[in-house]
Structure 1
Amino acid sequence: MDQKRTSRRSFLALAMATPLAATTLAACGGSAGPGQAADGGATIWFLTGQPKEDVRNQSVDSFNETSESGDLTVAAYQNDAYKTKIRTAIGAGQAPTLIFSWGGGSVRDWAEAGQIEDLTSFVDENPEMRERLFEAAWIPGEVDGKIYAVPHETVQPVFLYYNKKLFQQIGAEPPATWADLMALVPRFRAAGIAPISLAGQSRWTTMMWLEFLVQRVAGTEAYQAINDSQPNAWSNPDVLKAFSMAQDLVRAGGFVDGFNSVVADQNADQALLYTDKAAMLLQGSWCFGSIKTDGGTFVSDGNLGYQSFPVVDGGKGDGQSTVGNPAQYYSISSKASDEQKQIARDYLRDGVLTDEIATAFINEAGEVPIVNGIDDQLAAAEDGDFLSFIYDIASNAPFFGMSWDQALSPTAAEELLTNIEQLFGNPDGFTPQQFADSMNAVSQQ
């Protein structure tokens, strides 16, 4: 792909265990409180999971080495544990100084409750921050035209990973359409291979199947109506059809046996792919680094394939649009002291995505930082083909749908995940209409 010819304007369509050991003790407990450093300094919470965890720690360590305002103390948590812990901490007024999120509904709720700082003037006073990052990445951090969360890290579309060796074993091609995917299920089953790996216990992984089906079947407007919590958005007939198609896949045995007991936080769904137990995996770009790191020679032997989600014949949605995370975000707790807030602002300005850290995300994590002007660097990287694939998806997508559990309010998001668990776990006892009725009610609260 010619990176220089790809328009960045199309990015305008883009629009949370166990803590770490010694370095987290001051941030995680003791008399200082769960969100406070023992020495009164600033705190930052983010997610575990290699290789990105190492890059995040590099960013903080590098900042602390030169910071004149003070140091940041780190605590890291697994994804699902973090989502629960951060809600509890913010509600109790014990949030860390810097609050990690994916933008959207959580940021709006925190902003409206006065729990996070308005960062608009800070960003305006440092225009190079905004100019350096993808413009569209700022959108999920805005509330009513004001900035409450600064984007950082990487753009993370979701797509279909597949095991080339297993496809070769049954003499099949990756699915271009939904009908192709459904036809592959009995073929893989007959060969003793799980067609699709799914970490169903984590629920948000299952959500991605519904998101793509809604976009492909019902179209972009229907997807956005859900994200905007429009009345009766969930009972759109095409949305209900998409949910029925997902249940058809469950009934057909599309997912690995016992998928509701598989957990994404331990990367068990990825392991099923690279150990030749499952042929496909719908996941985000964040998985590539861990598949490469944990999968032995799976990637280097050329066994990993990837492609966009299949199209649905007769559907209203295009096949180029995607879903996922336009970026990750940091907000500053309004409960922090002036000194802590200053450290946090300095980190957002000088430490989050330096050239060194952006390069580490590319070379160590195998992801695309939300930094302008790195086209040539992506193409020249060891995993240049994969990085170009990610960049191509994000830059050419007519629509980049924000994940539902981040776009919705935390209350609606939890109800969503509960309903998803029932929709997939009990396909003959829980109907798409029951799902829609529940979500229509909670979305208006």
Structure 2
Amino acid sequence: MDQQRTSRRSFLTLAMATPLAATALTACGGSSGPGQAAEGEASIWFLTGEPKEAIRNQSVESFNESSETGQLAPVAYQNDAYKTKIRTSIGAGQAPTLIFSWGGGSVRDWAQAGQIEDLTSWIEENPDVRTRLFDAAWNPGIVDGAIYAVPHETVQPVFLYYNKRLFDQVGAQPPQTWDDLLALVPVFTEAGIAPISLAGQSRWTTMMWLEFLVLRIAGQDAYQAINDSAPDAWSDPAVLQALTAAQDLVRAGGFVEGYNSIVADQNADQALLYTDRAAMLLQGSWCFGSIKADGGDFVSGGNLGYQSFPVVTGGAGDPTSTVGNPAQYYSISANATDEQKEIARDYLANGVLTEEIAEAFINEGGEVPILKGVEDQLAAAEDGEFLSFVYDTAVNASFFGMSWDQALSPTAAQELLTNIEQLFGNPDGYTPQQFADAMNAATAQ
């Protein structure tokens, strides 16, 4: 397929991507313009990419079959196109009724600008909407104590995938420490294997390396200070140490040659792993479904390994801590009609994570829905070992760090990605201190 085939992380940053054509998913009237819907309909936008796109479509179709409030008209976009489309549509007052996001900085900006609905009182009147979902999933949708985005879909921690076949080939073990990982670089390089696959052109993939290094070296308080845009958070000496460690990995030749030209939307970073051209890949749980679908017998043959990010000796971070997506989120546009808002609330209460859809996420998507009480279903699934690993990683984490390009304001998040590209792409000409100065200035605005 030309479109991405993974329920990928898809961070909502404001990169200046060229919009791609939207793909209508169902023939239920369709939208009559950006953010618009026909009479009796509410519009909903989300992302392409199997297997998750099909499950989102299934959720909408099931809701439309039984809804007494009205119909949902869905449109799907590729990730980079969506980033641009949602930014321009919200700014023009033409947002869809239901706005898909990952919470954090974007939701905060929309809420403060009066562009999305305050859902607090509605949630209080319908407590089941909240109590049936993971408690920790709600935080990224809360602004100044008010709920502006309802979590849905799946929890998605980031961890280290590895190719067991290649580790066996060179007689190595998966890295338990950062020093172990650095020591593996020449081992794989001498064997003609890229140590680490990385879709560097997408930049958020590179960011995950930096997030984990900050979390392992500087600890959760320093990580959270960055998320909160605290003054001079990037100048913490331990954070500077993490920035230096990232550049050490680049200088050592840790990443596949030409990584800055590889795009995550095309799943090329995953392909390098399952075609035996790279030994490791730092990515989210969202990649499992596409690795399984596209990798032939790579998963079924027992060749895919996965583990938490290595510890850094002497670092302040708890080794159980992790980063990623606590959930995905829907907000309701403040510019929608009362009829559209009613349809949207009905969908959030009764259509988003039904038993049918939760089962689809588990058995078809290879992901863990943020629905309480699914442990037995996860263990019994075909991919139960992986799903239980994801679940345990999320629920047992001493700290689940929200990704920086979600937590920061969209403007600061864009500046973050620009500077990460410099930090990794020019390790001998762009210093950690320059990075810290640039980010302190960006988050202070």
Range of TM-score over shorter length: over 0.9
Partner of 1:6: none
Contact 1:196 1:256 (C-alpha < 8 Å) held by counterparts: yes
Matches within 5 A, 1:7-406: 16=12, 17-21=20-24, 23=26, 32-39=32-39, 41-406=41-406
Superposition pairs for residues 417-432 of structure 1, below 5 Å? 417-432=417-432
**Shift in Å, 1:442:** 1.2
Shift of 1:37: 2.1
Q: From the superposition, tell whether residues 276 and 333 of structure 1 become closer, same or farther in structure 2 (CA, over 3 Å).
A: same
Q: Does 1:439 align with 2:439?
A: yes
Structural RMSD (CA): 1.3
Give 1:387's aligned amino acid: L
**Displacement of 1:372:** 0.6
Distance 1:395 1:229 in 2: 26
The alpha carbon displacement at 1:21 in A equals 4.6
Aligned-partner Cα distance in 2 for 1:249–1:27: 48
Instruction: Verify the 8 A CA contact 2:28 2:71 in the aligned structure 1.
Output: no
- Provide the C-alpha distance between the structure 2 equivalents of 1:27 and 1:217, rounded to a whole number of angstroms: 50
Report Cα offsets for 1:337-357 as digits up to 9, x if no partner. Answer: 111111101100010000100
Q: Which amino acid aligns with 1:423?
A: L
C-alpha distance in 1, partners of 2:406/2:427? 25
Q: Distance in 1 between matches of 2:435 and 2:30?
A: 39
Worse-superposed segment, 409-418 or 81-90: 81-90
CA distance in 2, matches of 1:255, 1:38: 49
Distance 1:358 1:211 in 2: 29
The alpha-carbon deviation at position 213 of structure 1 amounts to 0.1
Question: What per-residue deviation string (whole Å, max 9, x for no partner) do you get for residues 182-212 of structure 1?
Answer: 0100111111111101011111111000000
What SS class does the counterpart of residue 22 from structure 2 fall into? coil
TM-score normalised to structure 2 length: 0.94
Q: Decide whether the 8 Å contact of 1:153 with 1:328 is kept in 2.
A: yes
Give the letter for the 1:355 counterpart: E
- What amino acid is the match of 1:421? E
SS state at 2:23 partner: coil
- String of CA shifts for 1:83-132, please: whole Å, max 9, x gaps: 22111111111111100111111111100000000001111111111110
Question: Is the CA contact (8 Å cut-off) linking 1:216 and 1:312 kept in structure 2?
Answer: yes
Q: Corresponding residue for 1:5? A: none
**Aligned counterparts of 1:118 and 1:60: Cα–Cα separation in 2:** 23
Distance 1:325 1:287 in 2: 13
Instruction: Look up the match of 2:4.
Output: none
* Contact 2:40 2:70 (C-alpha < 8 Å) held by counterparts: no
Match of 2:6?
none
Number of residues paired by the alignment?
A: 427
- Conserved? CA contact 1:27–1:35, under 8 Å: no
Contact 1:18 1:76 in 2 (8 A): no
Give unpaired runs (5+ residues) of structure 2: 1-11, 13-19
Asked if structure 2 preserves the Cα contact closer than 8 Å seen for 1:216 and 1:315, the reply is yes
Structure 2 contact 24–74 (Cα < 8 Å) conserved: no
Q: CA deviation at 1:360?
A: 0.4
Inter-partner Cα distance in structure 1 for 2:160 and 2:85 = 30
Aligned partner letter, 2:23: L
| Alpha-carbon separation, structure 2, partners of 1:302 and 1:18 | 38
Q: CA deviation at 1:39?
A: 4.5
Measure the CA separation in 1 of the matches of 2:191 and 2:27. 47
Report the 3-state secondary structure (helix = DSSP H, G, I; strand = E; otherwise coil) of the residue aligned with 2:387. helix
The answer to whether the 8 Å contact 2:222/2:239 transfers is yes
State the secondary structure of the residue aligned to 2:88: helix
Rounded to whole Å, the distance in 1 between the matches of 2:28 and 2:278 is 39
Matched residue of 1:286: which SS? helix
Q: Note if contact 2:41-2:340 (Cα within 8 Å) is conserved in structure 1.
A: yes
**Deviation of 1:23 (Å):** 3.7
- Return the offset for 1:33: 2.4
Q: Is the 8 A contact 1:322 1:401 kept in 2?
A: yes
| Cα distance, 1:91–1:144 mapped onto 2, change above 3 Å | same
| In 2, Cα distance between equivalents of 1:26 and 1:283 | 37
Q: How high is the TM-score relative to the length of structure 1?
A: 0.94
Please say if residues 141 and 149 of structure 2, whose CA atoms lie closer than 8 Å, have aligned partners that are also in contact.
yes
Secondary structure in 1 aligned to 2:63?
helix
